[in-house]
Amino acid sequence: MQQLEPLIARCRDLVEDLDLANVKAWKAAHPRGIAIGYLPIYAPREIVHAAGGLPVGVVGAGEELEIVRGDACFQSYICHLPRSVIELALTGRLDVLEGMIFPSTCDVIRNLSGIWKLSFPGKWTHYLDLPQNFEPEMGGVFYRRILHEMYAELCAMTGLAPDTECLRASVRLFNENRRLVGDLYAARAAEPWKFGAKDSYLVLRAGLVLPVEEHTTVLREYIQLCKARDVRPLDNARIALRGAFCEQPPLALIQTLERAGCYVVEDDFLPMLRWPSADVSEQGDPLDALVTSWLATPCEAASRFVKDGSEKGCTLVDSTREAKAEGVIFATPSFCDPALLDRPMLQAALQRSGIAFTSFKYAENTGQMQPIREQAGTFADSIKLWGEA
């Protein structure tokens, strides 16, 4: 088993490596394999894996990359993520990917998929229209056809024949990985002083580029090593973070929250690693199982239709209580319409439940953390002093 610091350092290297050396190494070791990128917030990674591919999460470039060409493709009043994805691609950093999946998260990603198709006509590009109808005979039939086609197209690229057993084995691997991700969240909520928010995030995010089998091992080791740590708890405020499900905040922002006296005990970073929230069935037809799990999963998100508007916010209230968070911080990418349009409904649900909240915006390359530190610190202090902000 690795020691904690080298393990976290390795994850950080993976997260900060915009040239995807790890993906290149995987391809060198798997000459018939393909690397397929996917945008936030959800893609069925099992399909790529079963076809002999490496699913690679692409969530932007963070703080490190100067955006030059990316800005030329988009107007100024949208979020930062599509610019940095285009910048990564136009500077050759995504050449290692044979294809890209663009889920129907929002209009920005839809438009990004169009720009991608025009810019890289030779690459396999799939716009993943996730159903917003959750009836098996309607949305289910539609989604199964999409998954079936995607699996066939990916298999054609690798030369493998679509195979039920292969797909079931992939489902099993990703189920195991998601269980470990759930264990990490539960362990961090129980003893947040042993699991730093930034370190946990790095370990989770490494899962976007590591093969699933390897990431599962990393998660298992990280949880064991953290649990065994001898660390004294501080009188910090326990907070849930919401709004960062797509464009990711800079690492410095997560660290700033910790330094401001917050234990992040729940968040919505990287939903692709947590969805579906329950195991995909390992019995019967695996495509049907993936469809059923997507239709049934109670994941509430800005990009997922909720039939009755009054239900918005129930999941946030439940997950906040389950993690024993004392307040919610809405940390939202600038110009992220889905998150910002959802927020009034979520705030109303928190108000009805007597849960304190505050909010601010960020961009993945946000540099100035002092105002965020002051706001988060004041929020944490007010929770500790008066029980609500």
Which residues are near ligand SF4 by CB under 6 A?
40, 79, 81, 105-106, 108-109, 246-247, 333, 336-339
Structural tokens at position 78: 């949208």
Question: Least CB distance from residue 379 to ligand SF4, whole Å?
Answer: 23
CB 264 within 8 A of CB 257: yes
First-to-final CA distance of the chain: 43
Question: Least CB distance from residue 78 to ligand SF4, whole Å?
Answer: 7
Question: Least CB distance from residue 76 to ligand SF4, whole Å?
Answer: 14
Question: Least CB distance from residue 249 to ligand SF4, whole Å?
Answer: 11
Q: Which is nearer to ligand SF4, 46 or 364 (CB)?
A: 364
Question: Least CB distance from residue 339 to ligand SF4, whole Å?
Answer: 6
Reported as type and span, the H/E element at residue 388 is: none
Ordered DSSP codes for 136-198: IIIIIHHHHHHHHHHHHHHHHHHTPPP-HHHHHHHHHHHHHHHHHHHHHHHHHHH-TTTS-HH
In the numeric block, the tokens 């899962």 are attached to 207
Structural tokens at position 195: 């699991």
Q: Which is nearer to ligand SF4, 226 or 272 (CB)?
A: 272
From residue 7, alpha-carbon distances to 55, 147, 310 in Å are 22, 35, 43
The total number of residues written for the chain in this structure: 389
Task: Report which residue's Cβ sits closest to ligand SF4.
Answer: 246
Q: Which is nearer to ligand SF4, 73 or 173 (CB)?
A: 73
Q: Which is nearer to ligand SF4, 88 or 383 (CB)?
A: 88
Q: How many CB atoms lie within 10 A of CB 186?
A: 13
Q: Say which DSSP state 59 is in.
A: -
Q: Which is nearer to ligand SF4, 72 or 152 (CB)?
A: 72
Q: Which is nearer to ligand SF4, 8 or 339 (CB)?
A: 339
Question: Least CB distance from residue 106 to ligand SF4, whole Å?
Answer: 3
